[in-house]
């Protein structure tokens, strides 16, 4: 894979490089990159936002986190990619406009098209170079999430400890293994990898920016050994597990459950109705757990996500 000279790889200790980086592919847009090089040696943190183009807390938090870094004390290197899928961002779309691809299902794969090429460039250039990846998401235009930050099964204790220390407003989450997802593929590569969700509805929630920024500061302090693990209290919270549930039928969805509510398997999630106001279906929870996401866009098509239950 051909890439142009990488100015973000030659940052002087104690300084930040902020600019547009052009990959070797002419059809991929330049990528906004922020890179801070600490004065002390240490690991590399990669923070990613807007892997889906309609999610806004991550990009805002990455900018604030970089602005607030104490460069005179910083250990290691921090790379921020605030807007990973720029063409989706400019289209205010979850997916890449040219091929309709979901970038967060395209990592580690061999498919053709702009989305696959972008995934390969991010993976080879940035994911391979990092020790810790934090991928910041939100519900996008279609969903609203419970704030949660997660790790993968078998990742060892590091990833779970980091997720649990991210901050009180963000619930611990055991992310299901889904091939092609950025954080899962980074985990498979042997990186410490976390993924986070904060509300959604294509809003920019100031509380989310604050929680993500504070969470990144805390994680980096722990990961670089500025804070000893022994100084940290145990976290008694049960993690959210589970996965998304999709609907077989479309219609206007009136939820009967609230975000954060505990439901039993088979509980009615809500009512789907048609344009005449006639009931079409009352979808039931596929498993017991906490309702961790619900639609923001209330008119559902068959195959759309109707909840996350975990
Ligand atoms: Zn997302």
Task: Tell me what the pLDDT averaged over the chain comes to.
Answer: 94
pLDDT of residue 5: 62
Helices 206-223 & 57-68 angle (0-180, nearest 10): 50
Strand pairing category for 279-281 and 262-263 = unpaired
First to last CA, the chain: 40
pLDDT surpasses 50 at 97: yes
Q: Count CB neighbours of 157 within 10 A.
A: 9
The reported pLDDT for the residue numbered 157 is 78
Looking at residue 158, what is its pLDDT? 86
More confident position, 106 or 5: 106
Percentage of residues in the chain having pLDDT higher than 70: 97
C-alpha 192 – ligand 1 centre gap (Å): 19
Buried b (16+ CB within 10 A) or exposed e, 285-301: bbeebbbbbbbbbeebe
Is the CB of residue 204 less than 8 Å from the CB of residue 56?
A: yes
State how beta strands 143-151 and 289-295 pair.
Answer: antiparallel
What pTM, to 2 d.p., does this model score? 0.95
As given in the structure block, the two tokens for residue 228 are 């000893």
DSSP string, 169-207: TSEEEE----TT-HHHHHHHTT-EEEEEEEEETT---HH
pLDDT greater than 70 at residue 82: yes
CA of 53 to the centre of ligand 1 (A): 8
Amino acid 160: pLDDT: 92
3-state helix, strand, coil in the chain (%, to 5): 25, 30, 45
Classify residue 44 by burial, with Cβ atoms within 10 Å: 0-12, 13-18, 19+.
Answer: middle
- The band of 1, judged by pLDDT with boundaries at 50, 70 and 90, is very low
For ligand 1, the distance from its centroid to the CA atom of residue 78, given in whole angstroms, is: 22
CA of 189 to the centre of ligand 1 (A): 21
Does pLDDT of 229 surpass 90? no
What's the gap in Å between 140 CA and the centre of ligand 1?
A: 6
Helices (H), the chain: 57-68, 86-90, 114-122, 157-164, 182-188, 206-223
pLDDT score for 231: 59
């Amino acid at each position: 894979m051909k890439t142009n000279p990488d100015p973000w790889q030659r940052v002087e200790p104690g300084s930040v490089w902020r600019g547009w980086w052009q990959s070797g592919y002419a059809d991929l847009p330049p990528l906004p990159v922020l890179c801070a090089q600490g004065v002390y040696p240490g690991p590399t943190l990669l923070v990613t936002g807007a892997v889906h183009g309609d999610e806004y807390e991550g990009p805002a938090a990455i900018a604030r986190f970089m602005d607030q870094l104490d460069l005179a004390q910083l250990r290691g290197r921090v790379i921020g990619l605030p807007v990973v899928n720029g063409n989706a961002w400019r289209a205010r779309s979850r997916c890449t406009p040219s091929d309709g691809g979901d970038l967060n299902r395209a990592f580690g794969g061999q498919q053709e098209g702009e989305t696959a090429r972008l995934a390969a460039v991010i993976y080879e250039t940035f994911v391979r170079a990092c020790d810790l990846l934090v991928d910041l998401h939100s519900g996008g235009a279609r969903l609203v999430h419970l704030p949660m930050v997660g790790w993968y099964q078998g990742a060892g204790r590091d990833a779970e400890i980091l997720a649990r220390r991210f901050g009180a407003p963000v619930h611990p989450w055991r992310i299901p293994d889904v091939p092609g997802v950025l954080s899962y593929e980074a985990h498979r590569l042997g990186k410490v990898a976390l993924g986070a969700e904060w509300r959604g509805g294509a809003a920019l929630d100031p509380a989310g920016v604050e929680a993500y920024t504070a969470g990144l500061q805390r994680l980096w302090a722990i990961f670089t050994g500025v804070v000893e693990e022994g100084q940290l209290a145990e976290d008694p919270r049960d993690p959210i597990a589970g996965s998304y549930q999709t609907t077989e039928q479309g219609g206007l969805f009136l939820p009967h459950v609230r975000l954060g509510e505990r439901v039993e398997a088979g509980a009615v999630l809500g009512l789907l109705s048609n344009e005449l106001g006639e009931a079409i279906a009352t979808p039931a929870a596929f498993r017991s757990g906490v309702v961790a996401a619900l639609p923001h866009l209330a008119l559902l098509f068959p195959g759309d996500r109707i909840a996350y239950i975990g």
